Amino acid sequence: MEKHTAAYWINTLQLQKHVEGGAFRETYRAPLTLPQQVLPGTFKGDRNAATAIYFLLEKGDFSAFHRIAADEMWHFYAGDTLHIYEIKPDGALIIHALGQDIAGGAAFQALIPAGSWFASRVESGSYALVGCTVAPGFDFADFELAERAALSDEYPQHQQLVVELTR
């Protein structure tokens, strides 16, 4: 099988720059809408039942720490292992390896629960092409990009990682 480059996937899938880093394109937005009154108070309006994107991250770039109001399921498609760094509300750090090296501890899917801070990067290799499915659906109104000083103050035990993965 031919190994494609990041540029190939960016062009073929028509990916655009993402505010958190990397490149993305929305591929699905459920037509079913959930009214705000049936959602937890962390949602700032009605939401589509689910959304999905392609997301590509190249080595040397990173997806900055952020959190959202919904669960986010990540899916591996191509390239190299992507490390997703999750800081749970209690301060526990979980490092998810998303990739095809199952024997080496990677998985094809990883779940980031609503309310966790998370960031990602390719530690070795050149890029990772993944997908993210969010339910209830993603809306930028529910997106919070971490501020370096505030996140470092909240989780001083992870200060070095926070410095590396914030803008």
Per-residue pLDDT reduced to its tens digit, 30-48: 999 999 999 999 999 999 9
| pLDDT confidence bin for 23, thresholds 50/70/90 | very high
Q: Over 60: is that where the pLDDT of 1 sits? A: no
12 and 36 Cβ atoms separated by less than 8 Å: no
Q: What is the pLDDT of residue 2?
A: 62
33-36 contacts at long range (C-beta below 8 A, 24 or more positions apart): 34/136
Q: What is the pLDDT of residue 6?
A: 97
Q: Which 3-state string (H, E, C) describes the chain?
A: CCCCCHHHHHHHCCCEECCCCCEEEEEEECCCEECHHHCCCCCCCCEECCEEEEEEEECCCCEEEEECCCEEEEEEEEECCEEEEEECCCCCEEEEEECCCHHHCCECEEEECCCCEEEEEECCCCEEEEEEEEECCCCHHHCEECCHHHHHHHCHHHHHHHHHCCC
Cβ contacts of 1 within 8 Å, gap of 6 or more: none
2.60.120.10, 3.30.70.20, 2.60.40.1730, 3.40.710.10: CATH of 6-164: 2.60.120.10
pLDDT in tens, 102-146: 999 999 999 999 999 999 999 999 999 999 999 999 999 999 999
The alpha carbon of residue 160 and the mean position of all alpha carbons in its chain are separated, in whole angstroms, by 20
The b/e string for 98-126 (b: 16+ C-beta within 10 A; e otherwise) is: bbeeeeeebbeebebebebbbbbbbeeee
Q: What is the pLDDT of residue 3?
A: 81
Q: What are phi and psi of 11, to 5 degrees?
A: -70, -45
Q: What is the rounded average pLDDT of the residues 11-30? A: 97
Q: What is the pLDDT of residue 153?
A: 98
Q: Over 80: is that where the pLDDT of 161 sits? A: yes
